[in-house]
Structure 1
Amino acid sequence: MAVEMIMRWAGVLTWVVPAFFAPALSIAEPNLPPTRDMNLLMITVEDWAANAIGAYGNPVVQTPSVNSLAKRGVIFDRAYCQATVCNPSRASFVTGMRPDYTQVFRNSDSMDALVPADAPSMARILDQDDVFTAQFGKLVHKWDDAGRFAKGFDLIEYTHDYDQPPGFEGTLRRSPAGPAGIDDVEMECLEIADKNAATRLKRLWDEREERLAAGAENSWTLRKPFQQLFAEQVGDSGIDEASMEDGRLVRSAAKLLGDLAASKQKFFLNVGLYSTHTPLLAPKKYVEAYSPSQMLLTAATRNRDHLVPDVARRGGKNYDIFNGLYPEYGPTDQRQREAVAAYYACSNYVDASIGVLLDKLAETGLDQNTIVVFFADHGFQLGEHGCWSKFTLFEQSTRVPMIVAVPGMRHAGDRCGQIVELVDVLPTLCDLWGIPKDDRFEGDSFMPLLASPNRPWKKAAYSCITLGGLGRSVRTKDYRYAEYHRDTAPPTNASDPHAVELYDMRSDPWEQNNLAGRPAYESVQQQMRDLLISGTKSINVLDTD
């Protein structure tokens, strides 16, 4: 990309601050260097569990790039998403608003249709006069349903064959094919090492294409046989790392970083990576680093759960891997070990992809003036309670990795044990750049924690998931409490949940001993229920005890 093109794109859209935005506040922090003129590189990863990263204590998976980033930034040990499925989680951190505001609770929900028309939007807010804004890979769930949230980006690059987002005024392009000639992410599956599965997938894909050509609606029902078989695949992708989806994205983004460094253009760049999402396929060299026979299966098995509601465990149903549609891919011990090994291989590969970006920052000198914000949209279950993938309110799904590295920060390498949430990300980006925060934001800027990681902070994190209606969870440092209701309305004192959970996270970190309803915990349960019901009225209250 020519530098002069970058300079031209950089001024395409200008965001005018409306009157309802709060006035800018001083954001100077004594332990942070000035950040207003720094660049922002945000790295968002799908489905990456914190406990599958070396910097978060996993001794097996190899994540040298993220580990290195952790040494240069603050690593948040208690970061939580607002929903444990892609669309509502991303709708929340893109707007700085919670699901009750966005009304996006499911992957099938349309942001364009449901999110209020004047809602805050990350791209529009960060699209300042002197900033080049770019998006590579995934930010929202589907641009088809979130076109107005593309507004503000000067450049969007896909690997998927999507149309231009409705209302998008910038430049849209497709990631170039990798060295192996792979340029269609949906058909990467045909390169997998398991040729029998590849043949079956091709047949299912062709049948779907034939039905679409004959006028069938492009629905989940039509896609399901292909997608559910695809989700069961683990191990060798059959593709080199530069040709897989994430490999193409980060190499193209790295080229843009080089051009931006040469032009000295201030930028916001988000790179959204996919590989820790099912199917758990990675390049062969990463797969070979993890022997299934050496993988440990979780001790938090379903038969050890005591009074854990069935709805909390999705009624024993998985939606991605081990989905039950193809019995030959059942959750045997061997198959589960293969899945854990493959997940670690995918984690290793995502880390290597992140390394491409971090290396380019160092090579160009951008590491001296670029803030790196890294997090996942939600976690991933690896068999805990019999659950795989996400779609639960357990810690493995709600907790996410998050690291923020500011060049020259005093607390580089420190850990923060305070509770933060993904809804806090956009307010934090505003503070880092000195942009007035929308007074409707439901998250809190955690910029003060970058300067002082151990200072008192918020008391609780809130997450939700559509299970038996809607499950809502509140997490404090010591406890997690959840209620399941038949509808999506916020709970009240008069609400009657059909299932309740209470766990002491200090003594029961795997959440296998449900304490709800026990007389000895009546007071704790009421306090946690009050927190849940008060919702946004209490979550912004800082803990000064």
Structure 2
Amino acid sequence: MRKPPTSSANTAARREHEMNRPRLLIRLLLIVLISAMGCFVTPRVEGVDDGRRPNVLFIAVDDLNNWVGHLKGHPNVKTPNIDRLADRGISFTHAYCSAPLCNPSRISLLTGITPSNSGVYGNGEKLRGKLPNAVTLMQHFRASGYSARGAGKIFHGTSAYDEDSWDDYFKPSRSKSHRTKRDSNLPKSAWVPWGPLACSYDEMFDGKTANWIIAELEKPQEKPFFLAYGLTKPHLTWEVPQKYFDLHPIDEIELPVVQEDDLNDVPAFGNKLAREVYDPSGERNFATPGGDHQNVIANNQWPVAVQAYLATISFADAQIGRVLEALEKSKHADNTIIVLWGDHGWHLGEKEHWRKHALWDVSTRTPLIISVPEGGNNGQLCHRPVSLIDLYPTLIDLCGLPERDGLDGQSLKPLMNNPTQQWNRPALMTYGFNNHAIQTERWRYIRYNDGGEELYDQRKDPNEWTNLAGNPEFAAEIKKLSAHLPKMNYKVK
């Protein structure tokens, strides 16, 4: 039997207890403070923390600029479903493509390799022709135990059916039975049709691919999945069912703000890009007298074109909404990361330019939203300049996949945890051989292969109306920005 302590032992025990009381109080206070702080601190985005690898719903939107509601790119835009996704994730308000053209932008994102390193500059190059050994984002997920399935436009053109990238891929035929007659008054050589269609979304390409994605989400899944939904809208042609035009009455349409003679201080190659349709691979180059902008104005089609683009955005948004609703109703809702991105921007008269094919902000800026289940960043905006090239390493990071060497991007997870943290990495954009743009939080610097330069202070000049490159006052800034240009450029043979 254990003996009771002596009185001297009792005294020593009381003294030790008195000495430890302050320490106990401090510990209790720390516990209370930490618990209280947990009520106010945003939970960190950790990706995988319960042994389950998250699924990925990967939504690509074709030719979508920043005309979405939460980015306030245009006052008439109606994108309730994209905005709802932004409310449940983090939106990168200054996200930029690697190239302002479908093929090089998409190949860059999906391989993690910039155009200056891959040599994919135009729509004419094929993925495996230029990069036979590249491991695409979907390949890496497949190698990590995922199934990779897709529908619609993820890669451009003939690269769409890359066998190494997909377990299953659905691309319906394009029906022309509901095409309108040419509703625009522009010459056939200069433009393409736009106007309302007498059909339902089920009869359209993006509606059919949405139906396929919805069916996939309703199925039980044996593996974690990477499911890619690629919309072809709002790419031309701007033909969608009538009800989406009705959302944007023509008498309410506001035109983009432009400056007369905006191209006067733009170097020769910049003018070429503004007035011509130029594909660096030579697949489809042509020019119209005076350029597209003068043609649109001369034929009084500017408000009609803006209406058609807005209507086509609303149609795309509706299909995205159908897919998001299907996910929310499925068994995968609480374990699926959602990524929405556009492949590049689109001009509708800004800088006297239409389409993409240029290195200005409007051509290269596009929506990027990432929603992580219980990520704690719902509705947050990150204003740091980021690139679509960063998506590959970001998804590796969020899903806990093995890291890959040779990727040109950087994970955005630190910005997802803290959208205002310091970020010294500018965004790089390329269009053709050795034509580049550098974007920081304040400056856009453009240098063309022939030595022409543009510099815009976007804090004072968000519309990029005043080219400062010829002003000696900004020579030091140009030198600093030019240090971020690629040191090597893949030479086109």
Fold in common (TM above 0.5) = yes
Q: Is 1:31 the counterpart of 2:44 in the alignment?
A: yes
The 3-state SS of whatever aligns with 2:217 is helix
Deviation of 1:409 after TM superposition, in Å, equals 1.2
Question: What is residue 131 of structure 1 aligned with on the other side?
Answer: 146
Q: 1:151 aligns with which of 164, 178, 189?
A: 164
State how 1:223-302 maps to structure 2 within 5 Å: 231-259=191-219, 262-263=220-221, 265-302=223-260
Q: Which runs of 5+ in 2 are unaligned?
A: 1-41, 279-283
The 3-state SS of whatever aligns with 1:485 is coil
Q: Is 1:373 the counterpart of 2:339 in the alignment?
A: yes
**Amino acid of the residue matched to residue 164 of structure 2?**
K
**Amino acid of the residue matched to residue 104 of structure 1?**
V
User: In the superposition, relative to structure 1, how do residues 34 and 317 fare at CA in structure 2: closer, same or farther (>3 Å)?
Assistant: closer
**Amino acid of the residue matched to residue 146 of structure 2?**
V
Deviation of 1:96 after TM superposition, in Å, equals 0.6
Q: Is 1:504 the counterpart of 2:457 in the alignment?
A: yes
Question: What is residue 16 of structure 1 aligned with on the other side?
Answer: none
Question: What is residue 193 of structure 1 aligned with on the other side?
Answer: 180
The 3-state SS of whatever aligns with 1:269 is strand
User: In the superposition, relative to structure 1, how do residues 403 and 336 fare at CA in structure 2: closer, same or farther (>3 Å)?
Assistant: same
Q: TM-score, normalised by structure 1?
A: 0.74
Deviation of 1:34 after TM superposition, in Å, equals 4.2
The 3-state SS of whatever aligns with 2:357 is coil
Larger CA deviation: 449-458 vs 104-113: 449-458
Deviation of 1:305 after TM superposition, in Å, equals 4.3
Q: Is 1:353 the counterpart of 2:319 in the alignment?
A: yes
The 3-state SS of whatever aligns with 1:516 is coil
User: In the superposition, relative to structure 1, how do residues 253 and 323 fare at CA in structure 2: closer, same or farther (>3 Å)?
Assistant: farther
The 3-state SS of whatever aligns with 1:397 is helix
User: In the superposition, relative to structure 1, how do residues 105 and 34 fare at CA in structure 2: closer, same or farther (>3 Å)?
Assistant: closer
User: In the superposition, relative to structure 1, how do residues 523 and 377 fare at CA in structure 2: closer, same or farther (>3 Å)?
Assistant: same
Q: Is the 8 A contact 2:112 2:407 kept in 1?
A: yes
Q: Identical aligned pairs, as a percentage?
A: 29
State how 1:88-107 maps to structure 2 within 5 Å: 88-107=104-123
Question: What is residue 317 of structure 1 aligned with on the other side?
Answer: 276
Q: Is the 8 A contact 1:292 1:340 kept in 2?
A: no
Deviation of 1:293 after TM superposition, in Å, equals 2.9
Q: Aligned partners of 1:316, 1:343: CA distance in 2, in Å?
A: 20
Q: Aligned partners of 1:248, 1:323: CA distance in 2, in Å?
A: 34
Structure 1's consecutive aligned runs of 4 or more residues displaced over 4 angstroms after TM superposition are 533-536
Q: Is the 8 A contact 2:239 2:312 kept in 1?
A: yes
Q: Is 1:77 the counterpart of 2:93 in the alignment?
A: yes
**Amino acid of the residue matched to residue 406 of structure 2?**
R
Deviation of 1:77 after TM superposition, in Å, equals 0.8
Q: 2:441 aligns with which of 472, 477, 483?
A: 477
Q: Aligned partners of 2:336, 2:482: CA distance in 1, in Å?
A: 42
Q: Is the 8 A contact 1:309 1:500 kept in 2?
A: yes
Deviation of 1:252 after TM superposition, in Å, equals 1.2
Deviation of 1:103 after TM superposition, in Å, equals 0.9
User: In the superposition, relative to structure 1, how do residues 30 and 75 fare at CA in structure 2: closer, same or farther (>3 Å)?
Assistant: same
Q: Is the 8 A contact 1:310 1:316 kept in 2?
A: no
User: In the superposition, relative to structure 1, how do residues 88 and 129 fare at CA in structure 2: closer, same or farther (>3 Å)?
Assistant: closer
Deviation of 1:268 after TM superposition, in Å, equals 0.5
Deviation of 1:294 after TM superposition, in Å, equals 2.1
Question: What is residue 415 of structure 2 aligned with on the other side?
Answer: 449
User: In the superposition, relative to structure 1, how do residues 526 and 133 fare at CA in structure 2: closer, same or farther (>3 Å)?
Assistant: same
Deviation of 1:317 after TM superposition, in Å, equals 2.3
Deviation of 1:56 after TM superposition, in Å, equals 0.6
Q: 1:388 aligns with which of 339, 354, 362?
A: 354
Deviation of 1:309 after TM superposition, in Å, equals 2.2
Deviation per CA, 1:41-60: give whole Å up to 9, x if none.
Answer: 0000110001x100111332
User: In the superposition, relative to structure 1, how do residues 434 and 126 fare at CA in structure 2: closer, same or farther (>3 Å)?
Assistant: same
Deviation of 1:129 after TM superposition, in Å, equals 5.7
Question: What is residue 425 of structure 1 aligned with on the other side?
Answer: 391
Deviation per CA, 1:255-293: give whole Å up to 9, x if none.
Answer: 11101xx34642100110011101111111001211233
The 3-state SS of whatever aligns with 1:418 is coil
Q: Is the 8 A contact 1:286 1:345 kept in 2?
A: yes
Q: Which runs of 5+ in 1 are unaligned?
A: 1-28, 160-183, 198-224, 487-496, 537-545
**Amino acid of the residue matched to residue 376 of structure 2?**
R
Q: Aligned partners of 1:450, 1:75: CA distance in 2, in Å?
A: 9
Q: Aligned partners of 1:146, 1:54: CA distance in 2, in Å?
A: 30
The 3-state SS of whatever aligns with 2:448 is strand
Q: 2:469 aligns with which of 516, 524, 529?
A: 516
User: In the superposition, relative to structure 1, how do residues 145 and 134 fare at CA in structure 2: closer, same or farther (>3 Å)?
Assistant: closer
Q: 2:137 aligns with which of 110, 114, 122?
A: 122
State how 1:325-340 maps to structure 2 within 5 Å: 330-332=295-297, 334-340=300-306
Number of residues of Structure 1 aligned to a counterpart in Structure 2:
433
Deviation of 1:152 after TM superposition, in Å, equals 3.7
User: In the superposition, relative to structure 1, how do residues 248 and 524 fare at CA in structure 2: closer, same or farther (>3 Å)?
Assistant: same
Q: Aligned partners of 1:248, 1:359: CA distance in 2, in Å?
A: 16
Could you say which structure has the larger radius of gyration? 2
Q: Is the 8 A contact 1:111 1:146 kept in 2?
A: no
